[in-house]
Amino acid sequence: MNSPKLTPEAGLEKIDEILPIRSLHAPFRDWSAWGGHLNSWKATTALANSLPQADHITMHPPGSKLANMIQNRWFEKAYDLPLLLDAKGRIQFSLENMPWVEGSPFARDPLEKLMDQCRDKNVGLTFDVCHMGVSGRDVLHAIDKVPDELLYNVHYSDAVGYTEHLTPGVGNLPLEDFLHRLGKRGYDRYITLELEPAAFPDDVEGTIRILSDLRETIQAQLEQGKRDTKYAARIP
C-alpha cells in the first residue's frame, strides 16, 4: 500500500479478478501524505475490507526514534489493533521483525519482545527471514522460537552480509532447511516472496518464468518437510 490514492475502484477490482489480492503490506514511510501513521493503517484496512479475498495485513512496528515515538503514542496504548483499525472479521494483522542491531548481551531478545508485543496487540507475526539473517541471527533457531499460533506470514528472500531481499540461492541463508522446518510443522499460512526489483529481468516472460520456478521450488521443499515428518512418525 504505497499511496493514499490507491483506493477501491474498478481498475483494482479487475486486477483482483485476474490475480486475487489476499494479503497487503501497510505503508512504512511518508506518514504526512496519509495524515499520520494511524491513518495509513486505517486506509490499508479499508482497502483490505473492500477486497473479497483479502484476509491479512503485514505492518512494520513503529520506529523507535524520538519523532516516531511522539507521533505513535497511540500504538503503545493500543491493545486490540483489529478493533482499533475497523477490520472486518476475516482480516488478520501481523507485525514484521525488522533488522536488529546487536545490543547489550544482558538485554532481552528483540524477537521475544516482538512476540510479546504481538500478543498484547492481538496480532500475529510476519517472520522476515532475510531481516533475521542480516541481524546475524540463526534463522533456523529463530523460527523454532515462534509458536504456530503467532506465525501468520513469512517474508521469503535471501541475504548475504547486510544485503537484503536477494533471489533465493543467491545469498547464504539456509532457505531449503528453513522451508523444510515450516513443512514439518504443518505451516499453511502465507509465504510472501519479497525480492528487490533488480532480481527480475526486463521482459514479462522471463519474470513469469522466474516466479513460476520459485513457486514450484518453495512448494516442493515444503512438501518434503511434510513427508519427512510422516516418515519419522512411522519409525517405531
Both 128 and 41 in one domain: the answer is: no
Q: Tell me, what's the pLDDT at 228?
A: 80
Low-confidence ranges of the chain (pLDDT < 50): none
Bridge pairing between strands 158-160 and 163-166? antiparallel
Q: Tell me, what's the pLDDT at 100?
A: 86
Enter the C-alpha cell of residue 6. Answer: 490507491
* Host domain of residue 219: 101-231
Q: Taking the model in full, what pTM does it have?
A: 0.91
Both 90 and 132 in one domain: the answer is: no
Both 165 and 199 in one domain: the answer is: yes
Q: Over the stretch 34-82, which tens digit does the pLDDT of each residue have? A: 888 899 999 999 999 999 999 999 999 887 665 566 667 888 888 899 9
User: Torsions phi, psi of 50, nearest 5?
Assistant: -85, -15
Q: Tell me, what's the pLDDT at 103?
A: 60
| Matching residue, cell 523507535 | 64
Both 176 and 226 in one domain: the answer is: yes
Q: Tell me, what's the pLDDT at 235?
A: 58
Query: Distance (Å, rounded) from C-alpha 179 to C-alpha 187?
Result: 9
Residue 236 counted as domain residue: no
Contact between 27 and 1 under an 8 Å Cβ cutoff? The reply is: yes
How many domains are contained in the chain?
2
Q: Tell me, what's the pLDDT at 12?
A: 82
Q: Over the stretch 85-103, which tens digit does the pLDDT of each residue have? A: 999 999 999 999 999 876 6
Q: Which residue in 144, 151, 128, 157 sits closest to 60, CA to CA?
A: 128
User: Torsions phi, psi of 143, nearest 5?
Assistant: -65, -30
